[in-house]
């Protein structure tokens, strides 16, 4: 099967140019100013940008919180992902207490069987002991080179000492640990304070977890990494103060990779007062204008490495579990379908970043850190043919009704965005045409190598 993409503007982190691309046997076979080969399918990309397939570094599909399970599983979540231009999701396989990493990985492989985008797994660990350590090499042999630890959530929280030890153990093997950085004790105390004042609605959520709660966690992780001598990955960075800590640590020689999410440069903390404010309850919470400006500045200065969505969706009925107590609202929101158009509208069109930086943030750096480069994350001859044709002239309004995700809300509901993923090639096959999913369930597992520590 040969596909020829003609007349598009090929966008890479190093620049953009008008070029044609020939795809053959699942790979990019040729990129040239003009290709006239006869192909099985010709796609005219005139007026569109052609990107390497986007990589979402942070999704939670089919995640069981105990009280409830995310609205999206891999079937629905990856359908939403692929029509939004995300050709690979890195989801968090989760080792619950009393479970082995091997069992968690096997379970996640089963969950992901009906995927419409490619998928890989980070391993989120809720325990760190000799038994878990003994499984780490097997994870690498299974294509999992990145892990996650939480400073918060009763079911997942580990200690600072465990993070330190895990960084040394996993870092020395070429892996990295993403850490959810918030100060657990302080936020628990603040939740209790809010409840004591009779504040039960979603507006109390950001009050319980203000900027300093994140910044303290980030600062602590930076010091832990300084002491372990191994790299740190800060997941879903949301604050100006947290970013300051990342920058200060880098000046001291700490190797830090920073991820943010669209909600932290597009949505305002005032939304918790909306009638459906519960849908914005996620951790970290939505922030203020100064934080959004700082996050965009971090993207512009390349201090932020990549953008995930933290897609972790719940229906409004599920969100109602916390009707009388904001701290019981399941944390998380839907976003996997809308990342590219949000980045294009709020970061590229506003002049905060260039298209080339969009390529860097949406795929190249994630592919490098997470061991997929140069097969993924870049348009080059020999790379996997995961390709997005993005139409910058489209204008539409985001709605959960037209999104393919399975929940009845979107944090971005009603927002008008510029640009849309028009066509997607996955593993050399066209799977999205004119914004419609034409070939579902074509996702494949992405076996990942150890991390490419490009900030070392």
State the residues that interact with Zn ion by CB under 5 A: 310
- Between CA 266 and CA 429 the distance in angstroms is 33
Give, for 287, the enclosing helix (H) or strand (E).
none
Helix (H), strand (E) counts: the chain: 15, 17
User: 3-state SS of the chain: helix, strand, coil percent to 5?
Assistant: 35, 25, 40
Helix (H, G, I), strand (E, B) or coil at 432: strand
322 contacts which partner out of Zn ion, ligand URP, none, CB within 5 to 8 A by kind?
none
Provide, rounded to whole angstroms, the least separation between the CB of residue 227 and ligand URP.
24
Q: In whole angstroms, how close is the CB of 312 to Zn ion at the nearest point?
A: 6
Q: Residue 363 Cβ, how far from ligand URP at the closest point, in Å?
A: 21
Nearest approach, Cβ of residue 213 and ligand URP (Å): 13
**Residue listed under structure tokens 């790979």:** 27
Q: Which is nearer to Zn ion, 241 or 310 (CB)?
A: 310
CB of 337 to Zn ion, least distance (A): 17
Residue 310 beta carbon to Zn ion: minimum distance, rounded to whole angstroms: 4
Q: Which is closer to ligand URP, CB of 291 or CB of 384?
A: 291
Distance CA 215, CA 445 (A): 35
Q: Which is nearer to ligand URP, 105 or 282 (CB)?
A: 282
Helix (H) or strand (E) segment spanning residue 25: none
Work out what residue 282 binds among ligand URP, Zn ion, none; the CB cut-off runs from 5 to 8 Å by kind: ligand URP
Which lies closer to ligand URP via its Cβ, residue 282 or residue 372?
282
CB nearer to Zn ion: pick between 4 and 152 = 152
The answer to whether 60 and 440 have CB atoms below 8 angstroms apart is: no
Q: How far is the CB of 261 from Zn ion (least distance, A)?
A: 9
- Partner touching 331 among ligand URP, Zn ion, none, CB below 5 to 8 Å by kind: ligand URP
Instruction: Collect all residues with Cβ–Cβ distance below 8 Å to 131 and sequence separation of at least 6.
Output: 100
Q: How far is the CB of 332 from ligand URP (least distance, A)?
A: 4
Complex with ligand URP: residue 285 or 392, whichever CB lies closer = 285
386 binds, among Zn ion, ligand URP, none (CB under 5 to 8 A by kind): none
Q: How far apart are CA 337 and CA 421, in angstroms?
A: 10
Query: Which is nearer to ligand URP, 4 or 65 (by Cβ)?
Result: 65
- We find the least distance from the C-beta atom of residue 283 to ligand URP, in angstroms, to be 4
Residue 283 interaction partner, one of Zn ion, ligand URP, none, beta carbon < 5-8 Å per kind: ligand URP
Residue nearest to Zn ion (CB): 310
Angle at 312 between CA 415 and CA 197, to 5 degrees: 85
Residue with Cβ nearer ligand URP (328 or 349): 328
**Nearest by Cα to 358 from 5, 126, 15:** 15
Residues binding ligand URP (CB under 6 A) = 60, 180, 282-283, 310, 312, 331-332
In 157-284, which residue ranges form alpha helices assigned H by DSSP?
160-171, 184-196, 204-208, 211-228, 240-251, 263-266
Q: Where are the alpha helices (DSSP H) in 307-409?
A: 316-319, 339-343, 355-359, 365-369
Rounded to whole angstroms, the Cα distance separating 343 from 335 reads 12
Q: CB of 339 within 8 A of CB of 352?
A: no
Cβ-count burial 239-266 (b if 16+ within 10 Å, e if not): bbbbbebbeebeeeebbbbbbbbbbbbb
- Report the distance separating Cα 39 and Cα 128, nearest Å: 53
| Residue 291 vs 310, nearer CB to Zn ion | 310
Chain position whose Cβ is nearest to ligand URP: 331
């Amino acid at each position: 099967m040969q596909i020829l993409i003609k007349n598009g503007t090929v966008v890479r982190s190093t620049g953009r140019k008008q070029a044609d691309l020939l795809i053959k046997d699942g790979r990019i076979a040729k990129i040239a100013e003009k290709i006239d080969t006869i192909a099985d399918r010709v796609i005219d990309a005139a007026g569109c940008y052609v990107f390497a397939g986007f990589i979402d570094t942070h999704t939670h599909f089919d995640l069981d919180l105990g009280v409830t399970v995310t609205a999206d599983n891999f079937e629905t979540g990856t359908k939403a992902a692929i029509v939004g231009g995300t050709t690979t999701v890195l989801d968090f396989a989760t080792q619950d207490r009393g479970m082995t990493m091997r069992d968690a990985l096997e379970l996640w492989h089963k969950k992901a069987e009906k995927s419409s985008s490619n998928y890989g797994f980070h391993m989120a660990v809720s325990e760190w002991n000799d038994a878990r350590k003994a499984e780490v090499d097997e994870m690498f042999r299974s294509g999992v080179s990145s892990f996650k630890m939480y400073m918060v959530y009763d079911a997942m929280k580990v200690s600072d000492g465990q993070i330190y030890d895990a960084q040394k153990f996993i870092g020395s093997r070429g892996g990295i640990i993403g850490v959810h950085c918030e100060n657990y004790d302080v936020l628990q105390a603040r939740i209790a304070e809010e409840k004591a004042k009779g504040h039960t609605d979603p507006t109390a959520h950001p009050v319980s977890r203000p900027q300093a709660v994140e910044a303290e966690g980030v600062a602590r992780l930076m010091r832990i990494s300084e002491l372990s001598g191994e790299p740190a990955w800060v997941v879903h960075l949301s604050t100006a103060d947290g970013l300051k800590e990342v920058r200060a640590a880098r000046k001291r020689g700490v190797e830090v990779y920073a991820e943010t999410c669209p909600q932290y440069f597009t949505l305002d903390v005032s939304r918790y007062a909306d009638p459906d404010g519960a849908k914005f309850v996620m951790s970290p919470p939505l922030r203020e204008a100064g934080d959004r400006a700082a996050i965009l500045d971090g993207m512009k200065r390349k201090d932020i490495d990549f953008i995930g969505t933290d897609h972790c969706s719940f229906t409004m009925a599920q969100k109602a579990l916390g009707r009388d107590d904001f701290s019981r609202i399941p944390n998380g929101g839907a976003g996997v379908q809308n990342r590219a158009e949000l980045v294009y509208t709020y970061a590229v069109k506003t002049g905060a970043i260039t298209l080339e930086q969009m390529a860097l943030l949406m795929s190249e750096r994630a592919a490098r850190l997470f061991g997929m480069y140069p097969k993924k994350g870049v348009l080059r001859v020999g790379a996997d043919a995961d390709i997005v044709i993005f139409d910058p002239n489209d204008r539409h309004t985001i709605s959960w009704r037209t999104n393919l995700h399975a929940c009845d809300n979107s944090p971005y509901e009603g927002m008008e965005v510029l640009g849309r993923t028009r066509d997607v090639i996955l593993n050399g096959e066209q799977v999205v045409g004119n914004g419609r999913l034409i070939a579902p369930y074509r996702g494949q597992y992405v076996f990942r190598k150890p991390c490419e520590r490009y900030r070392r």
